[in-house]
Structure 1
Amino acid sequence: MAQRFQLNPKPFTDPPADRLNRVSLIPRSAEQKQADNLGERRPLAPRTHEDKPFGEHSDGLHHHHAPPQNVEHDKVMDHGHENKMGSHVVPKTGHHPHSSEELHDVNSRHSLVPRSLGHNSLGGRFGPGKHQAFQRNGRPMFSLSDDRVMADRVLKTHSPDMVFFDVRSLLSVVDDIFKSYVPSIDSSASQPSLVFKDYADHASFEPFADLIEQITCEIDCKCLHTGESHGLMTSGLHLDSRNTTTFSVLSLVSKYRWDAKLVLVLAALAVKYGVFLLLAETYATNQLTKSLALIKQLPSIFSKQNALHQRLDKTRILMQDMVDLTTTIIQIYHLPPHHITAAFTDHIPTAVYWIVRSVLICVSHISGVSGFKQDQVMSFMEVSEIHENSERLRKINAYLLEQLKKSHLTIEEGIVEEEYQELIQTFTTIIHVDVVPPLLRLLRPIDFLYHGAGESKTRVGINVLTQKHVLLLVSDLENIEKELYILESLYTEAWQQSFEILWVPVHDSWTDAHDVKFELLHSKMRWYVLGEPRKLRRSAVRFVREWWGFKNRPILVALDPKGQVMSTNAFPMVWIWQSFAYPFTTARERDLWTEQEWNLEFLIDGTDPHSLNQLVDGKYICVYGGEDMQWIRNFTSLWRSVAKAANIQLEMVYVGKRNPRNGLEPIINTIREENISHTLPDVFQIWFFWTRIEGMWESKQRMLKAQRTRGREGFKEEEKDLVLQEIVALLGFGGEGDGWGLVSKASDIMVRAKGNLFSKGLSEFNQWEVNIPAHGFLKALNDYLMMHQPPHHCTRFMLPETAGIIPEEVECTECRRTMEKFYLYQCCLE
C-alpha cells in the first residue's frame, strides 16, 4: 500500500519532470497560470460553498487557520498517489512560515475525501489493509466525524412525502442491465446463457421515466462541463465538482425514501450503461451506430476491444457492489417501522452519498469522453479509485447486513415468543369442543397426515382425528427404534378402537438426510404420521420441549376428544399397564396404583411370557443380572444346588442390566449355548424390562408430586411407599455392572440382594435351612441375607431426565440417608 509522506520544503532549481506526461483537465485561472510561470504552485482553494462538502471545519475537530494568500506553500496531493506513481511535487521556495504539521492540516481541511476515510482507513484510496479492523473504538469506521458532517448535508436534501413504488422490481431490471454482456467485447469472459425475461408482471415505471431522464442529464452535463471523466481528476484535487453533482442529484430525488432514491439513480446509470453497450455491440455492423459513435467520439475506444473489456470489467465490480448495498437498504425499509433503529438510520445517509458518488465514477468510465480518448489503458489512479469505492461500499454493506441479521433474529424471536404464548393458552386456558383446533394450531402450517406405510400409505386431513382420543408420539429421529418396536407389538385392534397415535417428529435443523431417516421410520408405522415435519415451527418445537418436557427420549402426550391434555407423557402408564391405562389421566394412574400389588408377576408382566407360565405352575422364579460371566456361572450353579437341597422347583431368568456398555448379545449367547438358564427373548425385551421399571419410578414420582412433595416433607410420603423403595433398589442393581438377584413365587414376598451377598447366602445354605419349615423358604433366605448385610451397603443408580420428574433429593433404600446427586452425560449406550 502506498504511504503518505510529509513533504518538507527545501530549495531546488528546476521542477522534476513528469515521467508519465500527465495532463491536468482541471481549468486553471489566470492567477494560477501566472504562479506556474513563476515556478510556484499554490493549493487550489475551494471557490464555492458547494465545493466544501464537510464545511469549513470538521465535526468536533480543531484546525489551524489557513495561511495568508501571499504566503507560498506546498500542494500536498491526497492519499500519496504521486509517491506511488513516481512523481513528486516539491516546493520551489526555500522557506515556509508554517510547520509541516500545520501545512498538512490546512491541505487536508480542503480535501474532498473525509480524513476519517483517507489513507489506511475504511475509505482509503487504496482500500483497507489486509488486517485492518472493521471498527474503531467500537463504532463503524465509516461513521467518524467527517462522514457525520457529510451525512448531515445529505439529510438536508431529504424531505420524503410518502411516495412509494415497487423498488424491487425496478432494481431487478437495473441489475439485469448491469449484468449484460456484449459477445464482441466480452469474448474472454464467461458469459451466462441467453435468457429473455418477461417483465409483464413488473409494475409500470412510467411516472418515473422523466425523473430518470433528468438524473441522467444532470450527471451527463456535469461530467461534460467539468471534464472529470478520468479517475486522475478525482484523486485528491481540491476542486471536486463530483461532490457538487452528488448533492444536485440528491436534490432531484429529495421527496423519495432512501431506498427509492438509490434505485432511481441506479436506473439512470443503467440507461447510460445500456445505451453504451448497445452502441458497442452494433458498432461494427450498423451504420447508424457508427454515426452516433462518431458524434459521441467513441470510435477510438470501440476499435480497441481489450481496453474496453478492461474498463467494463472493472466498472461492473463497482456496479455490483452498489446493487448489493442498495438491496440491503431495501431490505431494511421492509422491516417493521419500530425495528428501523439508529443502527440503520445513522449510516444510511452515508451509504446513499457514496453510492451516488460511485454512480458518477461509473458514468465517467462509460461515458466515452476525454478519459477514454486520451488513455486507452486504465491508469493506476482509475483502478485504485474503483477499488477504493468498492471496498467502502462493501464495508458499509457488511455492517448493515450485520445489523439486519440482528434485527431479523429479534423479529423472529418475537414471533416465536408470541406463538409460544399462544400455544400455552391453547392447551391450558382455552376450552375446545374438539381435538382438531388445538392440533391445527400446534402443527401449522402443516395441515395433513399420512396413514399407514408402504403401498397402503394414504394422505388425509387432520380432521380425521375429530372427536378421538389422540396419543401424540413426540420424538426425534435417532432415539425411537426401541419404543417403536414395543409400540408396534402393543398396537392392536383394541388400541385402535380406543385411541389413535400420531407421530410428530421434532428436530431443530432438518436436512435431506433427515428426510431419508424419516421415510425409513415411517415405513414401520401403522398409525398416523405428521406430513412434512420439516415445516414444524420453532414455537411448536419450543413448546413440546419446554412445556411438555420433551428432551431426547420420546414422550406420549395424551389428548382427550376435546383437546385437553390428559398426560404430558403417558409412556410410563403404557409400559406398566398397556391399554388398561386408558384414558391415561392422573386419576386413572392413581387408581391403578391403589389396586396394584407389588409382586413378581407384576414386575415381569409383558416382558417374559415363559416366566409367567412358570409362576402359574407354582415354581420359584429367580431374576438375575450382571455382566460378569464367571459370577453368572457360579451364581446359577449355587442356585441349582440349593434348589435340589431344599426340594423346590426353580426357574432362573437372565435380565441383563440397564444401559449396557458393550452390549449383552455375547452374554446371552453364552448362557444359551451352555444352557445355564433361561433369558429374556432379546435385547429389546431386556430394554423394555428396565424401561418399564423406570416408568414405575417416574409414575410414582408423579403421584408424590401431585400429593405435595417438597423438601423433607416429601420423603415422609416416600418412606411409606414400600413399592417405591423396591423400585429404587432394582434400579440401583440394574445400573451397576456387578451381579444381583431377586427370587419370589407367585404372590409371595420378593427377596433381593447384590451378587456377592446373594452368593454368600446360597453357599451357606446349611446355616439357614433349619428355619425353612417354620418360616418358609423365602422368609428364611431373606432373614439370613438381612443379618449379613455389609456395613456399607448403599444404593447407587442413574436416571435419564424425563418430563421434569427428577426430584431434588432421594433417600437410599438401604441406609435411609440422602443420596448425592451427580450429572452424567452419556451416549452410545449399546
Structure 2
Amino acid sequence: MNLVEKEGFSSEPSEDDFLIREVVLTHDPDGRYLDSELLLQAVEDVLCSTATADSYFQVSDPYDDATIIEVVGSEESLEQIIYKVSSEMLLKCCGDSDLHTKTMVLLQMLGKYTWDAKAVIILAALAMTCGDCWLIKQLYPYNYFAASAGMLKQFPSDLNLLGIQFKALSMLANTMVELAKCVIKYERLPMKEVHLDYNTMALTKTQIYVATYRIFKGSLEFSAQTTDFVAMNQEKCMISQTTTIAAWGLSYMVPRLRRLCNDLLKQVDSCHDQTETKQYKELSEIFSKPHNDNQEVFQMLFALKDEIPLKDCSSQAQVNIFELEEKVVLILVSTPEVLPVDQIHFLEQRTHNHHYHKKIGRNYEIVWVPFPTSDTWTILQKRNFNILSKSLPCLCIRKPWLLNSAVLKFIRQEWNYKKQYPLMVALDSQGMVSHYNAMDMVFIWGAKAFPFSTSKEKELWGEQSWSLKLLLDGVDPLLMKRVEEGSNICLYGGDDLYWTKEFTSRLDEIRAAGLNFEVIKIDDKSPSVYDPHKLIQSKKFWLRLGSMKRSILCAENTAPNHRVLKEVLWLLEMNNTSKSWVLIGNKNSEDVLKLQEMEAIECLDLFPVWKEYVGRMGLVRAIKTAFQPNLSGGP
C-alpha cells in the first residue's frame, strides 16, 4: 500500500483530491525533529509585530533563545535549512514558472520534515527574506536608522503610499501564522498511542495538507509582492496599478485562508479533545493497578512526545526513563520559577547533601516537572526554565512544553496541584503513588524519610518526641552541633524591641555570673540586639514548623492532643501575632521550657533563686523548680 492509499483517498479521485494527492506525495519524513512552536514565536515577532514610538523605546533582551532551537536528526543546522529555502524562494519569485509549480518545488525540498516543521520553516524563510523590509516599514516613523535603511532600499519617502499593500500583506502574514499554529497543535497530538475516530482523522489530515500547501503558496505571494515594491521608485509607486491589483488579490486570498483556519481549528480541537479524554482515562487506569515496574507509568507521563524526556540538571546530560527503573521517584511539580531560593537550598540540603543520602545510594530520584502558568509557553518562560534547570540537584523534564495536555490535566485534578503551591508526589518502584505530597516529609527528615510513603510518615511520627533537635534539624549546622554536644540552648523571637532589650540585658547579667548557654534570636524582621551574628536562617525555621504542622495532621488525620503539634501550633501562633517568646532546652530532652513576653523577664529575674540548682538538676528543671508557681497559674 502506497502513501496515498494509506491516507484514505478513494481509488477514483475527484478534481479536488488531485492537489492533496500531489502534496502528500512530497511528504517523506525521516524522524527529524524541530521545536516548531518556539521557532514560530520568533517568526511571529517579525511578521506580525506592530511597532509604535513607545514600543521602540522599550528595552528587551536579545533573541538569545534562537540558539537553543535545533533540528534533531538532520546534518544541516536550522540556519542552513532556512537559508536554502529563502534562497530558493527568492529564485522562484524571479522565475517564470507558475505559482503552483514553485510551491511544489519548495514542498519537495522540505519533504523529510513533519507538517508543522514544513509550515514554520517556510515562514521562517519568509521572515528572513522580507523581515528587514517589514521591520523598516514598522519602525521608520520613529527610527532614524530605519528611515535611512528605507532610503537605501529606495523606498518611497512616504511609505503611506504603500499602505494598501502593507495592510494586505499584514493580514496574510497573521492568517498564515494562525494556520501554522493549527498545524502545530495537530502534530503535537500523540497519534501513535491514541487511535481516534477514522472520519475525524481523515478530514483533519486532508485539511492539514491543504493548510500546509496554502502557507507555502501564500509565502511565495508575500515574498513576490515585497520584492516588487522594494524595486520601485517613488514615481512608479504612485502611478502603478499593478501592485494595487496584487494587493486586492491578497485581500481576496485572506478570507479563504481564514475559513480554512477556522475549519481546521475545529477539527484539531475535536481530535485534541478525543485524545485528551482517552489518555486521561488511560492514566487513571494505569495508576489504579499494580505493575511489575514503573516504566509504563513514566512512558505515559513523560515520554509520549519525547523518547529521551529527562535531563540531569547538574550536567545537562539527557536521561531516558529506563534510568528510573526500580527507583522511588519524587515528582516535584511547580511553576517554571520552581521554589523561592531559600526553599531550593533547603531542599538540596535535605536530600542531596543529607548525611543519610549516602546510605540510600541511588535508590530514589527527584524529577522536576515545571508546570506552565498558561496554555502556551512563551520564549521568556522557556529562557527562565533553561536558566533555573541548571541550578537544581535533581533530574527535570528536558522540554516541559512537550508534556501532553492530558498529563497536565491529570496532575491538576487527580493530584490536586494548584500553581501557588509546589507539590512532591512520591511514586514507589512499581510506579504507584505512595504519597500525594511528600514535600513536608523531605523538609522535616530529609533523606531519612525514604521511601517517602504515608506509612513511613506515620512510622516516623510514632518514633518522634518533642525536642530542640527535632525543632532545629537542618536549620543551622553549627547550632545543631551545639545541640548534639549537649549545650544549653535559648531560642527567642518577637518584634517588640523594648522587650528584646530588657530580655537581653538580663541574659548579659546571667552570663556574666558564669552560666554559659547558647542564645539565638529567630527573627528576620529586625536585627538581634543581643548578638546579630547569631541570627540564624529564620525562613528555614518557620518553613520547617509549617511542614511539621501539615505533616502531623496528614499522618494522624487530626491530632489535637499530639505533643509536637501542640508545641508547633504555639510557636506559629506567637509568630503570627508577633508576640515575644522563649524556648530553653538541650539535646534530645523533651523537657523544653516555653515562655512568652513578661513571663520570660520574670524567669530571668529569679536567677538568684534557681542558679543554685542548675548543677544537680539541669537548667530547665532548675528554672521550673523556682518558677513553678507562676507556670501553674499564679501571678
Interval of TM-score (by shorter of Structure 1 and Structure 2): 0.5 to 0.7
275, 278, 283: which one aligns with 1:415 = 275
**Aligned residues of 1:626 and 1:737 also touching (Cα < 8 A):** yes
Structure 1 runs not aligned, ≥5 long: 1-159, 185-193, 204-309, 342-376, 706-716, 790-830
Amino acid of the structure 1 residue aligned with 2:334: S
Where does residue 765 of structure 1 map in the other structure? 606
- Larger RCO of the pair (alpha carbons < 8 Å, separation 6+): 2
Where does residue 348 of structure 2 map in the other structure? 488
Greater Rg over alpha carbons, structure = 1
Q: After superposition, give the CA deviation of every residue in 1:510-568 in whole Å (9 maximum; x if it has no partner).
A: 33333443343333345433322232222222323332233334333222221122112
Amino acid of the structure 2 residue aligned with 1:528: L
Where does residue 521 of structure 1 map in the other structure? 388
Q: After superposition, give the CA deviation of every residue in 1:88-131 in whole Å (9 maximum; x if it has no partner).
A: xxxxxxxxxxxxxxxxxxxxxxxxxxxxxxxxxxxxxxxxxxxx
Could you tell me how far 1:593 is from its partner in structure 2? 1.0
Where does residue 559 of structure 2 map in the other structure? 718
CA distance 1:393–1:703, change in 2 (3 Å) = same
> 5 Å matches for 1:175-194?
none
**Corresponding residue SS for 2:361:** helix
Distance in structure 1 (CA, Å) of the matches to 2:449 and 2:622:
36
Where does residue 577 of structure 1 map in the other structure? 445
**Corresponding residue SS for 2:280:** helix
Alignment pair present for 1:620 and 2:506 = no
Per the normalisation by structure 1, the TM-score is: 0.44
Distance in structure 1 (CA, Å) of the matches to 2:480 and 2:272:
56
292, 297, 300: which one aligns with 1:433 = 292
CA distance 1:197–1:395, change in 2 (3 Å) = closer
CA distance 1:518–1:766, change in 2 (3 Å) = closer
570, 573, 581: which one aligns with 1:732 = 573
Where does residue 702 of structure 1 map in the other structure? 554
Could you tell me how far 1:404 is from its partner in structure 2? 5.3
Structure 2 runs not aligned, ≥5 long: 1-12, 27-87, 97-101, 112-160, 187-196, 204-238
Distance in structure 1 (CA, Å) of the matches to 2:321 and 2:110:
39
> 5 Å matches for 1:679-694?
679-680=535-536, 683=537, 686-694=538-546
Amino acid of the structure 2 residue aligned with 1:446: D
Could you tell me how far 1:434 is from its partner in structure 2? 1.0
Where does residue 248 of structure 1 map in the other structure? none
Where does residue 463 of structure 2 map in the other structure? 595
Distance in structure 2 (CA, Å) of the matches to 1:576 and 1:566:
18
Distance in structure 1 (CA, Å) of the matches to 2:368 and 2:489:
38
> 5 Å matches for 1:451-470?
451=312, 453-454=314-315, 457-470=316-329
417, 420, 436: which one aligns with 1:552 = 420
Where does residue 475 of structure 1 map in the other structure? 334
Distance in structure 1 (CA, Å) of the matches to 2:337 and 2:294:
28
Could you tell me how far 1:398 is from its partner in structure 2? 5.3
Amino acid of the structure 1 residue aligned with 2:396: V
Could you tell me how far 1:499 is from its partner in structure 2? 2.0
385, 395, 402: which one aligns with 1:535 = 402
Distance in structure 1 (CA, Å) of the matches to 2:273 and 2:494:
49
**Aligned residues of 2:467 and 2:592 also touching (Cα < 8 A):** yes
Could you tell me how far 1:679 is from its partner in structure 2? 3.0
Alignment pair present for 1:639 and 2:507 = yes
> 5 Å matches for 1:311-460?
337=199, 401=261, 405=265, 408-409=268-269, 411-427=271-287, 429-444=288-303, 445-448=305-308, 449-451=310-312, 453-454=314-315, 457-460=316-319
Where does residue 607 of structure 1 map in the other structure? 475
Alignment pair present for 1:750 and 2:611 = no
Q: After superposition, give the CA deviation of every residue in 1:482-506 in whole Å (9 maximum; x if it has no partner).
A: 3332333341433434323333333
Aligned residue pairs total: 439
Could you tell me how far 1:589 is from its partner in structure 2? 1.3
Q: CA RMSD in A?
A: 5.1
Per the normalisation by structure 2, the TM-score is: 0.56
775, 787, 802: which one aligns with 2:633 = 787
Where does residue 20 of structure 2 map in the other structure? 167
**Corresponding residue SS for 1:197:** helix
Could you tell me how far 1:201 is from its partner in structure 2? 7.8
Distance in structure 1 (CA, Å) of the matches to 2:561 and 2:290:
38
**Aligned residues of 1:567 and 1:584 also touching (Cα < 8 A):** yes
Q: After superposition, give the CA deviation of every residue in 1:245-265 in whole Å (9 maximum; x if it has no partner).
A: xxxxxxxxxxxxxxxxxxxxx
Q: After superposition, give the CA deviation of every residue in 1:453-484 in whole Å (9 maximum; x if it has no partner).
A: 34xx4333221222222222333332423333
**Aligned residues of 1:768 and 1:781 also touching (Cα < 8 A):** no
Distance in structure 1 (CA, Å) of the matches to 2:595 and 2:274:
56
Q: Among the aligned pairs, what percent are the same residue?
A: 23
Could you tell me how far 1:603 is from its partner in structure 2? 1.1
Could you tell me how far 1:772 is from its partner in structure 2? 7.7
Q: After superposition, give the CA deviation of every residue in 1:635-672 in whole Å (9 maximum; x if it has no partner).
A: 22233445677x75432112226xx6xxx6xx26x754
Amino acid of the structure 1 residue aligned with 2:570: A
Compare 434-443 and 487-496 and name the one that shifted more: 487-496
CA distance 1:340–1:195, change in 2 (3 Å) = closer
**Corresponding residue SS for 2:559:** helix
**Aligned residues of 1:757 and 1:785 also touching (Cα < 8 A):** no
**Aligned residues of 1:558 and 1:569 also touching (Cα < 8 A):** yes
Distance in structure 2 (CA, Å) of the matches to 1:202 and 1:516:
28
Distance in structure 2 (CA, Å) of the matches to 1:527 and 1:766:
51
Distance in structure 2 (CA, Å) of the matches to 1:764 and 1:696:
33
Distance in structure 1 (CA, Å) of the matches to 2:512 and 2:335:
51
Distance in structure 2 (CA, Å) of the matches to 1:416 and 1:466:
26
